[in-house]
Amino acid sequence: MALSIVILAAGQGTRMKSGLPKVLHPLATKPLLEHVIDTAKTIRPQKIIVVYGHGGNLVKDKLSHTGVQWVEQAQQLGTGHAVDQAIPLIDAGDTVLVLYGDVPLTKSETLENLIGKVSKTSMGLLTVKLDNPAGYGRIVRNAKGDVERIVEQKDANADQLKINEVNTGLLAVSGAKLQDWLKRLENKNAQGEYYLTDIIAMAVSENIKVETVQAANESEVMGVNDKRQLAELERKFQREQADKLMIAGVTLADPDRIDIRGNITTGKDVSIDINVILQGKVEIGNNVSIGPNNVIRDTKIGDNVQIQANCVIEESIIGNDSRIGPFARVRPESRLAENTHIGNFVEIKKSDVGVGSKVNHLSYIGDSVIGKDVNIGAGTITCNYDGANKHQTVIGDNVFIGSDTQLVAPVKVGDGATIAAGTTITKDVPAGELAISRTPQSTRKGWKRPTKNRK
């Protein structure tokens, strides 16, 4: 049977106290709903249908790149009503998996187990046992241990409220059965809503066995209703990511003080200190040391690289055997070759830095091409912006640039040239030559500083 996945994402989320739809609130910088969609894609469904409502256009626009089908639930009349909006897109011969847009950490293996429970005589239901089941629908079983029905918290009696096995809302069922049962749902309950969970009693009455799958842990089925729960889920997610890194061989100084917000690949003997944020696609080579308080986004880091404390590196390539920081910023479209040194309070932007070159102190290098074995002195600036357009600076191999130099682009410095400290370069410098723009030093005898006029 083909697999259709229905994701319910129409809830208003009033407890979030936000104008942003609940399913768009970020977990590790990615919307909750996108986490669910990405997991759904891993089990290769024929179609994914998202039922949206509150903030619908914003939800669709934000996640238009996901390639899902969208169906609107104009009125909030319960989960059964929400799934019913997707029925026109579902074939009777499909297996239907129902997920929730604010439950982002369910594992694909769990979903595959759930789908495996669906047959002509059975359906799948994901449950979990909680120490505190308050607020959840209770799983009511008969003397044989078979599921009979689900009773919502507000409709449960005293005995039913003691049950700690609860409904997660996630279920898998044949399309034909789902179509039939949804037509027969009623809203005679405390909320006046059409509960999807009422199909469980219908299944039992038709001798369709409700096969349960237990979630591996509570975090797999945790939903988000307020900012506190979102923060709690963020910590659980981050600990899972940290565990994955450590299983892959990465040494973490403190697995509770690292944030992973993307796809990270690592080589051998990688060590990461505290308060590091890895975001987007980050590739880390072998024998890499990343110091504390670094932010690294969409970057490829070669082997034997040392990144010292308090650096920001974005959309760049760091070559083998290089050293970055402390307090360095490497901005997008920068490519550092092997054995480069980018030191404290240095900013590199959209520049190529050649093999063995050093920019160690208090400098800005922007829109530049720097050759190999170049030394950039402290306080050097490439003046790349004329107020309207950016211009390029090209520096050849084996160039020595003294401290406090300004290179006013567009300008070229030839191989082996030397630029004296305190020089402003406005014209190309020939290879092998010394460029200097300082005036001769002079002393004025008897000169006195100005003093303030006394009133």
**449 falls within a domain:** no
User: 188 and 234: one domain?
Assistant: no
**43 falls within a domain:** yes
Q: Is the pLDDT of residue 190 over 80?
A: no
Helical packing angle, 175-183 and 79-86, nearest 10°: 130
Q: What is the pLDDT of residues 25-79, one digit of tens each?
A: 999 999 999 999 999 999 999 999 999 996 678 999 999 999 999 999 988 899 9
What CA–CA distance (Å, rounded) separates 224 from 31? 12
Q: What is the pLDDT of residues 392-417, one digit of tens each?
A: 999 999 999 999 999 999 999 999 99
Beta pairing, strands 165-174 & 95-100:
antiparallel
User: 241 and 209: one domain?
Assistant: no
User: 61 and 167: one domain?
Assistant: yes
Q: Is the pLDDT of residue 328 over 90?
A: yes
Q: What is the pLDDT of residues 275-284, one digit of tens each?
A: 999 999 999 9
Choice between 89 and 451, residue whose per-residue pLDDT is larger: 89
pLDDT score at 155: 87
Closest of 41, 247, 455 to residue 7, by C-alpha = 41
User: 266 and 304: one domain?
Assistant: yes
What CA–CA distance (Å, rounded) separates 405 from 133? 68
Domain limit, last residue, from 193, 221, 249: 221
* Prior bond of 21 cis (ω within 30°): no
* Prior bond of 104 cis (ω within 30°): no
pLDDT score at 405: 98
* Torsion, Cα of 61, 62, 64, 68 (10° steps): -110
User: 208 and 299: one domain?
Assistant: no
CA 279 to chain centre: 6
**445 falls within a domain:** no
What CA–CA distance (Å, rounded) separates 301 from 286? 9
Q: At 379, which amino acid appears?
A: G
Q: Edge to edge, what strands does the sheet with 323-324 contain?
A: 251-252, 271-272, 289-290, 306-307, 323-324, 341-344, 358-361, 375-376, 400-401, 418-419, 434-435
pLDDT score at 449: 84
Number of domains within the chain:
2
Q: Is the pLDDT of residue 441 over 90?
A: no
User: 243 and 207: one domain?
Assistant: no
pLDDT score at 451: 87
**191 falls within a domain:** yes
Neighbours of 225 (CB within 10 A): 16
Q: What is the pLDDT of residues 149-184, one digit of tens each?
A: 899 888 899 999 999 999 999 999 999 999 999 999
Share of the chain above pLDDT 70, in %: 100
One-character DSSP codes across 35-88: HHHHHHHHT--SEEEEEE-TTHHHHHHHTGGG--EEEE--S---HHHHHHHHGG
Token pair recorded at residue 33: 């709903």
Average pLDDT, the chain: 95
Q: Identify the H or E element spanning 279.
A: strand 276-284
pLDDT score at 191: 82
Query: If pLDDT is split at 50, 70 and 90, which confidence band does 447 have?
Result: confident
* Angle at CA of residue 409, ends 403 and 412, nearest 5°: 80
**441 falls within a domain:** no
Domain limit, last residue, from 194, 221, 248: 221
Q: Are 228 and 19 in contact (CB under 8 A)?
A: no
Provide the whole-model pTM. 0.90
Indicate the DSSP class of residue 234: H
User: 255 and 212: one domain?
Assistant: no
User: 127 and 141: one domain?
Assistant: yes
Q: Are 95 and 1 in contact (CB under 8 A)?
A: yes
User: 56 and 10: one domain?
Assistant: yes
Average pLDDT over residues 419-447: 93
Active site residues: 361
Q: At 57, which amino acid appears?
A: N
Residue with tokens 């969970």, as numbered in its chain: 197
**256 falls within a domain:** yes
User: 213 and 350: one domain?
Assistant: no
What CA–CA distance (Å, rounded) separates 278 from 280? 7
Q: What is the pLDDT of residues 204-251, one digit of tens each?
A: 999 999 999 999 889 999 999 999 999 999 999 999 999 999 999 999
Share of the chain above pLDDT 90, in %: 89
Closest of 6, 39, 17 to residue 105, by C-alpha = 39
Average pLDDT over residues 128-145: 92
What CA–CA distance (Å, rounded) separates 433 from 157? 92
pLDDT score at 1: 76
- Burial tier of 447 (Cβ tally within 10 Å: 0-12, 13-18, 19+): exposed
pLDDT score at 56: 75
pLDDT score at 35: 98
Q: Is the pLDDT of residue 113 over 80?
A: yes
pLDDT score at 453: 86
Token pair recorded at residue 450: 């100005």
CATH number for position 371: 2.160.10.10
Residue with tokens 């303030």, as numbered in its chain: 452
For residue 148, the enclosing domain spans 3-221
Average pLDDT over residues 112-136: 94
Adjacent-strand bridge partners of 424: 406
CATH number for position 148: 3.90.550.10
User: 372 and 386: one domain?
Assistant: yes
Q: Which residues contact 11 (CB under 8 A, 6 or more apart)?
A: 22, 23, 53, 54, 76, 101, 102
Domain limit, last residue, from 221, 253, 284: 221
**451 falls within a domain:** no
**45 falls within a domain:** yes
